[in-house]
Amino acid sequence: MSEEGHKLYRQWIEASPFTSWLGLQVHAAPTGLEAILPFEEKNVGNPFIRSLHGGIVSAALECGGGLLAARLHGLDRIQRPASISISYLRSTADRDLNIQVLPIKTGRRLLFLTAKAWQDDDDKPVAIATMTFLRKTKEV
């Protein structure tokens, strides 16, 4: 991914208070989008077993999807999905979370993305998701 692409993602993240609060960092994107969510104490969902909150994992995937959707639809800001379906496959630990988002089908109005999140081994995802985005043609 070009430096210009990285710069765009950084701008969109900075312009999105929730995405900034989450702390998502886009670090590479040979195809689709790859990012990392550095571990922070606020992301712990179960303090006893120190697992990440499932909603935080989902939110990270949604943010990644929103960034990729903006790029693929040629828009100038992070997008919100119309829907998300997520399966939690494994428990998480108090470590960084990696995410990858890939396009399944890019249409004129609709965009379908698939995403996965993992911690230590990308062959052992902790969560997988599909997201649908509608291209916004006017302000709602």
Partner 1 sequence: MSDFINHLQERFAQGSHGVFGTLDIEINSASCGQVSLAIQPDGWAALHDDEPTVHSGLLTLLLDSIFGFAVISSLETPMAIATIDLKIDFLRDVHVAEKLLVEARVVDAPDIFAHTEGEVRVQKTGLLIARGNGSFMVGTKGPSFGTTNPEAAP
Question: How many residues line the site for partner 1 (CB under 8 A)?
Answer: 40
Q: How far is CA 62 from CA 4, 30, 50, 140, in A?
A: 22, 19, 22, 20
Kindly state whether residue 49 participates in binding partner 1, applying the rule CB under 8 A: yes
Kindly state whether residue 25 participates in binding partner 1, applying the rule CB under 8 A: no
HSE (side-chain half, CA atoms, 13 Å) at 137: 3
Smallest gap from residue 108 Cβ to partner 1 (A): 20
Kindly state whether residue 17 participates in binding partner 1, applying the rule CB under 8 A: yes
Name which position in 2, 3, 4, 85 contacts partner 1 (CB under 8 A).
85
Kindly state whether residue 11 participates in binding partner 1, applying the rule CB under 8 A: no
In whole angstroms, give the CA distance from residue 66 to residue 58: 12
Contact assessment for residue 37 and residue 96, using Cβ atoms and an 8 Å cutoff: yes
Smallest gap from residue 69 Cβ to partner 1 (A): 12
Q: How far is CA 39 from CA 24, 65, 127, in A?
A: 10, 20, 16
Kindly state whether residue 19 participates in binding partner 1, applying the rule CB under 8 A: yes
* CA-based nearest residue to 58, from 102, 17, 116: 116
Contact assessment for residue 50 and residue 93, using Cβ atoms and an 8 Å cutoff: yes
Kindly state whether residue 104 participates in binding partner 1, applying the rule CB under 8 A: no
Kindly state whether residue 35 participates in binding partner 1, applying the rule CB under 8 A: no
Binding site for partner 1 (CB under 8 A): 15-19, 21-22, 41-49, 53-56, 58-60, 62-63, 66, 77-78, 80-88, 91, 139-140
